[in-house]
C-alpha cells in the first residue's frame, strides 16, 4: 500500500532556509497505522480525521463513531442511532469462530459492557448474570463447549414472540436469544426462588414438607419445655397433638423427598438452585437487563449500513448519557476486534480503521479496554485506530507508547507540563503551535528516531 497523506511542510526548514519540505504520512513506512490527534477545541482535530479518512485507500474499511455528529466525510454512509430509529445490535448473536468466538466470549462481552459504565456489577450479580446468559443459550441448544451448536439465525423480538405464541419450539431453537429472552428466563428463575428450591415441582414440594416437619418439631419442643414448668392440662393435650402431627409430617416429608429423588433427572438440581444466589441479587440483575434493553441499543435491529465501506455511526442522540455512549462504543469495538481476528493475519496490511473522537470518555489504563487492545494487539490483523482528544492526557500510556503517529495541535497551556513529560517533547515546541496553522508530529518509522517535528499546514 503506497498510501501517502500530506501532513504539512517542515516548519523549521521553511523558517531557516525558506525551503518547502513536505512531510508525508506513509502507510508503508510507519511502524503501525494507529494515529492519535490531540488539540484544544477548534485546533483542527475533526479536520485531521477528515484528512486521514479521506486519504485511506479503497480497500480500507472505516468505522467512525461520531458523537458530536460533525464528522461529515464524502462517501460515508451515515446511520443515526436514536430512540426514534432504534437501531441496535443483539449482544447475544455469536461470532461462530471456534477460536475467537463462542458463548463464553459473548457472555464476557455483555458483562464487560455493563461494567464499563459508572455502575459496575457486584460479584454476585456478575455470576448470576453469567449463569443466566449461559442458561438462555442452553435453552436454545447453544452450548459453550460445542462450537457446532453456535450457528443460529438472528430474529427480532416480534418474531420470537410470534414463535413462542404458536409453540413452535423447533423454530425457537433456530434463533439466537435476545435480552428479552434473558429477562423472561430471569423472571421465571426468580419465581422459582421465591417459591422453593428449584424450578421443578417435586423439589418445591419436598422442601415445603421438610420445612413443615421442622416447624412442627420446634413447636413440639417448645410446648414440652413449657409443660415441664407448668404441668398444665392444655399443654399436655397440645404435646400429644403435636406428637401425632410430627409423625404425619415426617411421613409426608419422606414421601415428598423420595419423590424428589425419584424424579431428579440431571443431578444438577441443587446447583441449579444455588447458582442463582438470592432473590435480591436476581431481581437486581433483571432490573439491570431491563434498563439495558430499554436503551434500545442492544435490541436486534441492525443498522442499515449495507455494503458501505465508510460507516458513520451518528451517536449524537446518545450523548446525553455517558454510560450509554461508553457501552455502545466499547461493545462495537469488541465485536470489530473479534471480526478482524477471525479474518486472520493481514501481514501488517491495513484493512480497517476505527475512528473515535473525544477519547477522554473512553480512555483508561485497563488492558481490557478495547482501545488499548487495538493499539497493543491488532496491528497484525490489519485493524488500526484513529483517536482524537482535547489533550494527550486523554490517551492511555499504552496508546502514547505504541501509536505509530501522534499529531499534536494547539494544546491548552495547562496541558503543556503533562504533555512535555508524557510525550518527551520540548515545551518550546508546544508553545509554537497555532490552531489550524501548525502541529507537531511524531511518526515511528523504521530506522528513524521518533522525534516530534513541527509542521505548518498553510
Ligand X SMILES: Nc1ncnc2c1ncn2[C@@H]1O[C@H](COP(=O)(O)OP(=O)(O)OP(=O)(O)O)[C@@H](O)[C@H]1O
Contacts to Mg ion by CB under 5 A:
45-46
Question: Please, are residues 393 and 419 in contact by the beta-carbon 8 Å criterion?
Answer: yes
43 binds ligand X (CB under 6 A): yes
Nearer to ligand X, 305 or 416 (CB): 416
22 binds ligand X (CB under 6 A): no
* Binding partner of 453, given ligand X, Mg ion, none, CB within 5-8 angstroms per partner class: none
Residue 189 CB, nearest approach to ligand X (Å): 47
Residue 49 CB, nearest approach to Mg ion (Å): 8
Query: Which of 27, 36, 46, 121 is the binder for ligand X (CB under 6 A)?
Result: 46
Per rule CB under 6 A, count of chain residues that contact ligand X: 11
392 binds ligand X (CB under 6 A): no
Nearer to ligand X, 31 or 51 (CB): 51
* Binding partner of 34, given ligand X, Mg ion, none, CB within 5-8 angstroms per partner class: none
| Binding string, residues 53-92; x marks residues near ligand X by CB under 6 A | ---------------x------------------------
Query: Which of 13, 14, 47, 343 is the binder for ligand X (CB under 6 A)?
Result: 47
Using CA atoms, how far apart are residues 435 and 438, in angstroms rounded to an integer? Answer: 7
Nearer to ligand X, 4 or 366 (CB): 4
Stretch that binds ligand X, among 35-43, 85-93, 199-207, 412-420 (CB under 6 A): 35-43
**Site for ligand X, residues 189 to 208, rule: CB under 6 A:** none
* Binding partner of 39, given Mg ion, ligand X, none, CB within 5-8 angstroms per partner class: ligand X
456 binds ligand X (CB under 6 A): no
Residue 390 CB, nearest approach to ligand X (Å): 6
457 binds ligand X (CB under 6 A): yes
Residue nearest to ligand X (CB): 44
Angle value at C-alpha 82, between 115 and 315, nearest 5 degrees: 65
Query: Which of 2, 18, 41, 320 is the binder for ligand X (CB under 6 A)?
Result: 41
| Binding string, residues 407-446; x marks residues near ligand X by CB under 6 A | -----------------------------x----------
Residue 181 CB, nearest approach to ligand X (Å): 40
Q: What residues line the site for ligand X (CB under 6 A)?
A: 39, 41-47, 68, 436, 457
Amino acid at each position: 500500500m503506497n498510501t501517502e497523506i500530506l501532513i504539512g511542510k517542515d516548519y523549521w526548514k521553511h523558517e531557516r532556509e525558506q525551503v518547502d519540505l513536505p512531510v508525508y504520512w506513509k502507510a508503508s513506512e510507519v511502524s503501525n497505522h494507529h494515529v492519535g490527534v490531540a488539540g484544544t477545541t477548534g485546533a483542527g482535530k475533526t479536520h485531521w480525521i477528515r484528512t486521514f479518512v479521506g486519504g485511506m485507500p479503497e480497500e480500507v474499511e472505516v468505522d467512525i463513531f461520531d458523537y458530536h455528529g460533525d464528522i461529515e466525510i464524502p462517501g460515508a454512509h451515515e446511520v443515526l442511532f436514536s430512540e426514534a430509529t432504534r437501531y441496535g445490535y443483539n449482544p447475544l448473536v455469536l461470532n461462530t469462530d471456534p477460536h475467537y468466538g463462542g458463548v463464553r466470549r459473548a457472555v464476557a462481552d455483555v458483562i464487560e459492557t455493563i461494567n464499563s459504565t459508572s455502575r459496575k456489577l457486584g460479584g454476585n450479580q456478575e455470576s448470576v448474570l453469567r449463569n443466566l446468559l449461559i442458561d438462555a443459550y442452553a435453552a436454545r441448544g447453544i452450548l459453550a463447549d460445542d462450537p457446532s451448536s453456535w450457528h443460529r439465525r438472528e430474529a427480532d423480538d416480534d418474531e420470537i414472540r410470534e414463535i413462542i405464541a404458536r409453540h413452535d419450539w423447533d423454530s425457537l431453537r433456530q434463533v439466537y436469544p435476545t435480552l428479552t429472552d434473558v429477562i423472561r428466563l430471569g423472571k421465571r428463575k426468580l419465581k422459582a426462588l421465591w417459591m422453593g428450591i428449584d424450578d421443578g415441582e417435586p423439589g418445591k414440594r419436598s422442601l415445603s414438607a421438610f420445612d413443615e416437619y421442622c416447624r412442627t418439631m420446634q413447636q413440639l419442643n417448645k410446648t414440652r419445655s413449657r409443660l415441664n414448668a407448668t404441668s398444665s392440662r392444655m399443654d399436655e393435650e397440645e404435646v400429644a397433638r403435636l406428637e401425632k402431627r410430627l409423625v404425619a409430617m415426617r411421613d409426608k416429608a419422606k414421601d415428598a423427598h423420595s419423590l424428589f429423588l425419584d424424579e431428579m433427572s440431571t443431578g444438577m438440581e441443587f446447583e441449579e438452585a444455588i447458582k442463582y444466589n438470592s432473590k435480591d441479587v436476581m431481581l437486581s440483575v433483571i432490573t439491570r437487563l431491563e434498563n439495558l434493553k430499554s436503551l434500545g441499543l442492544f435490541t436486534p435491529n441492525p443498522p442499515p449500513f449495507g455494503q458501505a465501506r465508510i460507516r458513520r455511526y451518528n451517536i449524537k442522540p446518545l450523548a446525553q448519557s455517558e454510560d450509554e455512549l461508553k457501552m455502545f462504543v466499547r461493545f462495537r469495538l469488541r465485536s470489530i476486534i473479534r471480526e478482524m481476528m477471525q479474518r486472520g493475519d493481514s501481514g501488517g496490511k491495513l484493512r480497517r480503521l476505527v475512528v473515535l473522537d473525544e477519547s477522554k470518555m473512553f480512555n483508561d489504563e485497563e488492558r481490557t479496554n478495547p482501545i488499548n487492545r487495538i493499539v497493543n494487539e491488532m496491528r497484525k490483523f490489519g485493524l488500526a485506530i484513529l483517536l482524537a482528544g482535547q489533550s494527550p492526557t486523554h490517551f492511555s500510556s499504552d496508546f502514547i507508547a505504541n501509536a505509530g503517529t501522534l499529531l499534536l495541535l494547539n494544546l491548552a497551556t495547562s496541558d503543556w507540563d503533562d504533555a512535555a513529560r508524557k510525550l518527551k517533547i520540548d515545551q518550546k515546541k508546544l508553545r509554537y503551535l497555532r490552531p489550524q496553522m501548525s502541529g507537531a508530529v511524531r511518526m515511528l518509522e523504521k530506522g528513524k528516531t521518533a522525534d516530534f517535528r513541527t509542521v505548518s499546514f498553510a
